[in-house]
Amino acid sequence: MTSLLVIIVLVLLAVALWQLTKIFDLTQVGASSDDSQVASDNDNNVQGYIMFGFLAFIYIFTIYGLLKWGNLALHTPASAHGLLVDNLMNITWVLIFTVQVITQGLLYWFSFKYKGNKDKKALFFADSNKLEAIWSIIPSVVLAILILYGLYAWNNIMFVDKDEDVIEIELYAQQFKWTARYAGADNTLGKANVRLIEGINTLGVDMSDPNSQDDIVVTELHLPKGKKVHFKMRSQDVLHSAYFPHFRAQMNCVPGMVTEFAFVPTYTTAEYRELPFMIKKVANINKLRNEKSAELVAKGGTALDPYTFDYLLLCNKICGASHYNMQMKVVVDSPEDYKKWLSEKTTLAQDIKAASAAEKPAEGAEATTDTASKVKDTVKAVIDTVKAAVAKVAVK
Amino acid sequence: MSAEAHGHDHGHDHEHEHHHKDTFITKYIFSIDHKMIAKQYLITGIIMGIIGIVMSLLFRMQLAWPEESFKIFNVLLGDKFAPDGVMANDIYLALVTIHGTIMVFFVLTAGLSGTFSNLLIPLQIGARDMASGFMNMISYWLFFLSAVVMLCSLFVEAGPASAGWTIYPPLSALPQAIPGSGTGMTLWLVSMAIFIASSLMGSLNYIVTVINLRTKGMSMTRLPLTIWTFFVTAIIGVISFPVLLSAALLLIFDRSFGTSFFLSDIYIAGEVLHYQGGSPVLFEHLFWFLGHPEVYIVILPAMGLVSEIMATNSRKPIFGYRAMIMSVLAIAFLSTIVWGHHMFLSGMNPFLGSVFTFTTLLIAIPSAVKAFNWITTLWKGNLQFNPAMLFSIGMVSTFITGGLTGIILGDSTLDINVHDTYFVIAHFHLVMGISALYGMFAGIYHWFPKMYGRMLNKNLGYIHFWVTAVCAYGVFFPMHFIGLAGLPRRYYTNTNFPLFDDLQNVNVLITTFALVGGAFQLVFLYNFFSSIFYGKKAVQNPWRSTTLEWTTPVEHIHGNWPGEIPHVYRWPYDYSNPNHDVDFVPQNVPMKEGEEVLHH
């Protein structure tokens, strides 16, 4: 409601301004020449000074922004390669700010300095190969350095050596939740396909694959500190993107293919919570939440829970109406805690056995053949459709 | 419309009346005159722009005050999508999607390119009309039809397309995945197919006209930079739009005829779908093969307009005319081999990512050349701060600010963490959204006298520019920070993430700037529509410009020049030429005896 009022006020303000200019125009009647709407010397002067003021606005706004919002940006990376990413980022920022300050400064300073008047004549300065060369070559050299550093970092991050010692974990995306599958003792994930989804086997793991027998399916992701984790990502329905902001890691999950990303976590959740910047950030968030809670309670609602930091996995590719709430908690443990946590989990094979034991065994078997025949039917139907379509085209 | 018709009939010269018999329909509706078609594009573009901007204000309000009740939501979105004035999450995505589609295609492609290519190509190269006036008319009416279809899609039962303006399948292919992927998406695809047909007809016409219909003496190196950019833009359009059409058609096949171009192994709503063997990544390639050149289709014409307006209002030649042409050509070439930088994290081979990082960062070089040339054009000028000049300087400013963050997004390593966050939104809105919009505004203020024979009010123009300039930075500068905090785009609300609670104040600030900036566009609309009828009458060459369009009479006539088409004897930037006393020498003024050419 308040914003509606704000809008109305703004509209009225706009109308008022227009009325003022109208009055201003009416006072100009009599100056019959038709160039009354072309900038006069007076206009040039006034606008020139505003140009200078705007330069000040940009500079001050930038400094204000850096001071006020600078600490909102993601801080210390929680992964090994994150240092590389942040280092390149910082170098790039220095470059960007330097160029930004200089070019905006020149642009608006020239605008102010060379504001026109009737007695002046501009300098006829059409071209200079020397200048063009300078501002082609300098950016080329600077960019060459950035490109090389960028490619070096990219190759380091994206390619996982075959003989590297890694933990294999599958991230499984669906509208609107994440599931993880650990490869178990053999560190090899069993085959899977959405056509095999059935009952509590919600990931479509192929249980006839020997590698699947020790796979573990969980809904909260635990990672050991200091060990490289190799994620294999799948999606069940639409595109999703597995985004771990604190680890500087992201990769899309694509139905029909397996994508991958690997990183080494370097801070356990407990350690990361204790970093000074994080203590400050959480305190600030809780201050804001307390204010909001007071407001809610006054309205008769319930207060918000206080916030403690946890790593998160977010979905970062539009995936449907509830895209904004697709998340999974990520916990980084010490290697010992991680082992302990994992050893307490049951394998998918055990879960399936337990589930089918609870039901009648015969029903389960029937269902399996059902799915298989369904798949066959679908494939046959597709082939028939294509055949019919081809035939139709051929007849035509 | 009738008032306008009336006004024109009055001022109509009797000698023209017997040259051509225009009925109301052939003059104002199915006109084949490029000047009228330009105005049709402009008005349609402005109407679409109003819709697109209002949509953005609505979802900005939701982001600043999540799930709060606003009467205006209920009034505009209805009981289904905003019960009790609270915006529903699926209509939020639809608003985001249609806002993007309308602004990119209907406003900044058709509205900008369509208006100024049509208006300026024949006038500035010295031609009586486009190569094919009839095809030009069809092009506009197909554009109009596609706009109507797009607007119709807003009113279908399940809501309009809501898979994002990039319509990635499978989300856009499966109505089970999101309600907007039903009829809404079908209409979106139909609308885009018609739009592409319109765009191709327009582009072919521009290319043929520029190549064949230049007046005597108008060599390619005497063309104003506006024409160069329109020409190159049209070429990029012809190369890339058909690829989007193919993607749209294949998507229609997947949606309606059961093919599997983009779909494979999908389990949704409790059942396995029959699709097998397709790949959504293929769609991403096809989409961005258009999608990236598209941003240059949007920005290049704005660059051309700005170059022209800056030279005129600096009373100086544009600095480095040939370097400007070369940089436009370089940008055009590179624009077709960088599409993969939208897909670093799509699951394609990381090696491809390296290649696209390399080509993408190369674009910074011709872009830097352009920016420095503009700044040098101002140096030691005699700057005339007409509203068009303000918008041109503003365009250079936002192009630099937005372009610089491209160095981060174009670098695959850095893209990992800012991909699809608000950082991207801040970047592209500044570098191609606001910049192109400024270019369009600059063009409107500058050529309004040519289009309507009247002047826009300069004081309203000043107010319009300065408030817009402050608000544009006010909206998009803070947005970089919430992007660096890791906030993903296209989230209906971030209240589910206490992690992002400290970003909420920034979101309120951004929305406040957006509402103020949006409201002040009313100043422009008032200025525009009232000046069409009541503006000060324009003189023939109000800005004392050198190009040929200002040698035509103020009152529009078929064929542009009453007598012979003027011949061209010099380049378009003879401002403050030391061989002449006046500070501008039009292109149709012959060289004085012994006059030297002072530029390369």
> Is the pLDDT at A372 greater than 90, yes or no?
no
> Is the pLDDT at B90 greater than 50, yes or no?
yes
* Average pLDDT estimate for A7-32: 68
Chain B (212-241) residues lying within 8 Å, Cβ to Cβ, of chain A? none
B12 φ/ψ angles, rounded to the nearest 5 degrees: -65, 130
Sheet holding A327-333, edge to edge: A221-224, A327-333, A311-315, A240-244, A249-253
Given A85, A103, A316, which is nearest B420 (Cβ)? Answer: A316
Least confident segment among A27-31, A108-112, B214-218, B524-528: A27-31
Distance from CA of B25 to the nearest CA of A (A): 32
* Average pLDDT estimate for B73-101: 93
CB < 8 Å to A375, chain B = 272
Residue range A223-259, pLDDT digits in tens: 999 999 999 999 999 999 999 999 999 999 999 999 9
Tell me whether A159 touches chain B (CB under 8 Å).
yes
Q: Which of B73, B95, B93, B94 is closest to B84 using CA atoms?
A: B73
Given A17, A85, A92, which is nearest B523 (Cβ)? Answer: A17
Given A34, A250, A312, which is nearest B536 (Cβ)? Answer: A34
Q: 3-state DSSP call for residue A314?
A: strand
Nearest chain B residue to A65 by CA distance is: B478
- Ordered by start, the domain boundaries in chain B are 32-551
> Is the pLDDT at B5 greater than 70, yes or no?
no
The model's confidence at residue A392, banded by pLDDT at 50, 70 and 90, is low
Residue range B279-290, pLDDT digits in tens: 999 999 999 999
Given B171, B498, B542, which is nearest A285 (Cβ)? Answer: B498
Cis preceding linkage at A176, omega within 30: yes
Residue range B550-576, pLDDT digits in tens: 999 999 998 999 999 999 999 999 999
Chain A (187-216) residues lying within 8 Å, Cβ to Cβ, of chain B? 193-195, 197, 204
CB < 8 Å to B526, chain A = 14, 18
CA–CA separation, B424 and B345 (whole Å): 14
CB contact under 8 A, A321 and B519: no
> Is the pLDDT at B8 greater than 80, yes or no?
no
* pLDDT value for A29: 52
CA–CA separation, A259 and A251 (whole Å): 7
In the numeric block, which tokens belong to residue B318?
Answer: 């544009």
Average pLDDT of chain A is 89
Tell me whether A293 touches chain B (CB under 8 Å).
no
**Considering the domain A167-350 in this protein, what is its CATH number?**
2.60.40.420
**Other CB atoms within 10 A of residue B228 CB:** 22
* Average pLDDT estimate for B356-384: 95
* pLDDT value for A36: 86
Query: CB under 8 Å to B238, separation ≥6 — which residues?
Result: B200, B203, B204, B207
Residue range B249-261, pLDDT digits in tens: 999 999 999 999 9
Work out the burial of residue B559: count CB atoms within 10 Å of its CB; fewer than 13 is exposed, 13-18 middle, 19 or more buried: middle
> Is the pLDDT at A63 greater than 70, yes or no?
yes
Average pLDDT of chain B is 93
Report the relative pairing of strands A167-174 and A177-182 from DSSP bridges: antiparallel
The model's confidence at residue A13, banded by pLDDT at 50, 70 and 90, is confident
Tell me whether B560 touches chain A (CB under 8 Å).
no
> Is the pLDDT at A376 greater than 70, yes or no?
no
Residue range B36-50, pLDDT digits in tens: 999 999 999 999 999
* Average pLDDT estimate for B412-439: 96
Given B389, B393, B419, which is nearest A107 (Cβ)? Answer: B393
Element (H, E) at A221: strand A221-224
CATH superfamily of B32-551: Cytochrome c oxidase-like, subunit I domain (1.20.210.10)
pTM of the entire structure?
0.90
Nearest chain B residue to A237 by CA distance is: B266
> Is the pLDDT at B223 greater than 70, yes or no?
yes
* pLDDT value for B6: 43
Distance from CA of A357 to the nearest CA of B (A): 23
Query: CB under 8 Å to A160, separation ≥6 — which residues?
Result: A166, A228, A230, A260, A262
Tell me whether B354 touches chain A (CB under 8 Å).
yes
* pLDDT value for B203: 96
* Average pLDDT estimate for B468-486: 97
Q: How far is CA A236 from CA A176, A212, A255, B120, in A?
A: 11, 18, 6, 52
* Average pLDDT estimate for B175-183: 93
**Other CB atoms within 10 A of residue B326 CB:** 15
CB contact under 8 A, B519 and A14: yes
* Average pLDDT estimate for A24-32: 54
Better pLDDT: A182 or B15: A182
> Is the pLDDT at A362 greater than 60, yes or no?
no
CA–CA separation, B357 and B363 (whole Å): 10
CB A100 within 8 A of CB B401: yes
